[in-house]
Homo-oligomer: A and B are copies of this chain.
């Protein structure tokens, strides 16, 4: 068996792994894409399967075409979303999560779900504070 005698956080680990508290860490960019206003909603929407551009626009209430395109491009460039374009007219493009995208989308969904479920508690706390 291959032993791992090294301490929990080795130097190598620290260098490889991101550090969000560090200003210029590339993980910050990934995080801003994923946690952007529309990034969160798109990842959750795509968890239920492949969607076309227009399907996503209709599903995610309030998103503009510009931000939909831009956010999908961010997520694609980070390797979370795959874009499949069929060369037909009118255009037909499909978006779906990559394996990496599925993983992160689940984390995001768990957060989003928590908020949805606990909304009554949160709003109740806000109201109490306002008094």
- B residues near A22, Cβ cutoff 8 Å: 61
Q: How many copies does the complex hold?
A: 2
- Name A59's closest neighbour in chain B (CB-CB): B21
Contacts of A18 in B (CB 8 A): 115-117, 119
Chain A residues engaging chain B, CB cutoff 8 angstroms: 16-23, 26-27, 30-32, 34-37, 40-41, 44-45, 59-62, 77-79, 98, 100, 103-104, 107-108, 110-112, 114-123, 125-126, 129
15 contacts between A and B (CB under 8 A): A17-B120, A18-B115, A18-B117, A21-B41, A23-B62, A26-B123, A27-B115, A27-B119, A34-B115, A35-B111, A77-B129, A98-B125, A100-B121, A104-B111, A107-B107
